[in-house]
A and B are shown apart, each in its own frame.
Chain A
Amino acid sequence: MRRYFGRKLLIYGLTFFLAVTIDWMIPRFMPGDPIANMLSRATVNVENAQLMYDYFEQVFGLDVPLWRQYLNFWAALFRGDLGISVYMFPTPVTEVIMRAVPYDVFLLLPAILLSWYAGNKFGAFAARSKWLDNTVLPIGYILTATPYMWLGILLAWVFGVVLGIFPLAGAYGFDVRPQFSWTFIWSVLKHWFLPFASIFLVRFGGWAIGMRNMIIYELDADYSHYLEALGAPRKLVRQYAYRNAILPQITGLSLDLGIIVAGALVTEVVFSYPGIGTLILQAIQNQDYFLLQGCFLFIIIGVLLANFVIDFVYVIVDPRTRLGMVGETA
Chain B
Amino acid sequence: MTNTTERTPKETQPERATSKETRSEFLYFALRNNKLRIGLAVILFFLVLAVVGPWLTDYEPYAYVNPGGAQPPSAEHWFGTTMFGQDVFTQFVLGLRSTFIVGAIGGGLGTLIGIVIGFTSGYQGGIVDEILNVITNIILVIPTLAILLIIAAYLEVRGILMESIFIGFTAWPWAARAVRSQTFSLRARDFVDLAKLSGRNSWKIIFGEIAPNMMSYLLLTFILQFGGAILNAATLDFIGLGPTNAVSLGLMMNNAVMWGALLLGVWWWFVPPGLAITAIVGALYVTNVGLDEAFNPKLREM
- Is B188 interfacial (CB 8 A cutoff)? no
Q: A193 an interface residue at 8 Å Cβ cutoff?
A: no
B254 (CB) vs chain A CBs: closest residue: A149
Residue A36 at the B interface, CB < 8 A? no
- Does A241 make an interface contact (CB < 8 A)? no
Chain-A contact segment, one of B75-83, B119-127, B135-143, B194-202: B135-143
Interface residues on A, range: 35 or more
Task: Report if A55 contacts B (CB, 8 A).
Answer: no
Cβ distance A40 to chain B, nearest Cβ, rounded Å = 18
Interface flags, B46-77, vs A, CB<8A=1, else 0 = 00000000000000000000000000000000
In the complex, chain B residues 236-269 whose Cβ is within 8 Å of any chain A Cβ:
238-241, 250, 253, 256-257, 262-263, 265, 267
Contact B154 A142 (CB under 8 A): no
- Closest residue of chain A to B275 (Cβ to Cβ) is A150
Residue B160 interfacial (CB < 8 Å): no
A153/B253 in contact, CB under 8 A: yes
Chain B residues positioned under 8 Å from A10 (CB to CB): 134
If the complex has contacts A150-B277, A304-B141, are A168 and B262 also in contact, measured as CB distance less than 8 A? yes
Interface residues on B, range: 35 or more
Contact assessment for B144 and A153 in the assembled complex, using a CB-CB cutoff below 8 Å: no
Interface check A11, CB cutoff 8 A: yes
Is B234 in contact with A147, judged by CB distance below 8 angstroms?
yes
A145 and B238 in contact (CB under 8 A), knowing A153-B257, A248-B7?
A: no
Contacts A19-B142, A26-B153: A252 and B7 contacting too (C-beta < 8 A)?
Answer: yes
Contact with A along B269-289 (1 / 0, CB 8 A): 011011101111111111001
Task: State whether the Cβ of B3 lies closer than 8 Å to any Cβ in chain A.
Answer: yes
Are B146 and A296 within 8 A (Cβ)? Answer: yes
Contact between chains at A210 and B143 (CB < 8 Å): no
| Selected interface stretch from A41-49, A100-108, A254-262, A312-320 | A254-262
Q: Does B141 contact A153, Cβ atoms closer than 8 Å?
A: no
**Whole-angstrom distance between the Cβ of B276 and the nearest chain A Cβ:** 10
Interface centre among B141, B154, B262, B281 (most CB of A within 10 A): B141
Report the bound CA distance from A161 to B257 in whole Å: 13
B8 interface contact, C-beta 8 A: yes
Known: A10-B134, A146-B278, A149-B234. A220 touches B285 (CB 8 A): no
Kindly provide the distance from the CB of A321 to the nearest chain B CB, expressed in whole angstroms: 16
Chain B residues with Cβ under 8 A from A246's Cβ? none
- Contact between B154 and A14, CB atoms less than 8 A apart: no
Of chain B, the residue at the smallest CB distance from A217 is: B9
Q: Give the top 7 A-B pairs by smallest Cβ distance, nearest first.
A: A150-B274, A145-B282, A258-B143, A262-B145, A145-B281, A210-B4, A213-B8
Can you identify 11 A-B contacts, CB atoms within 8 angstroms? A31-B154, A31-B156, A145-B231, A145-B280, A149-B238, A150-B275, A157-B265, A210-B4, A256-B1, A258-B142, A300-B142
User: Residues on A close to B: CB < 8 A?
Assistant: 10-12, 14-15, 18-19, 22, 25-26, 29-31, 138, 141-142, 144-151, 153-154, 156-157, 160-162, 168, 206-207, 209-210, 213-214, 216-217, 220, 248, 251-252, 255-259, 261-263, 265-266, 269-270, 280-281, 284-285, 292, 296, 299-300, 303-304, 307, 330
Q: A141-B289, A144-B4 are in contact. List 12 more A-B contacts (CB 8 A).
A: A19-B146, A141-B285, A144-B1, A144-B285, A147-B274, A206-B4, A209-B4, A209-B5, A214-B9, A258-B144, A284-B149, A296-B149
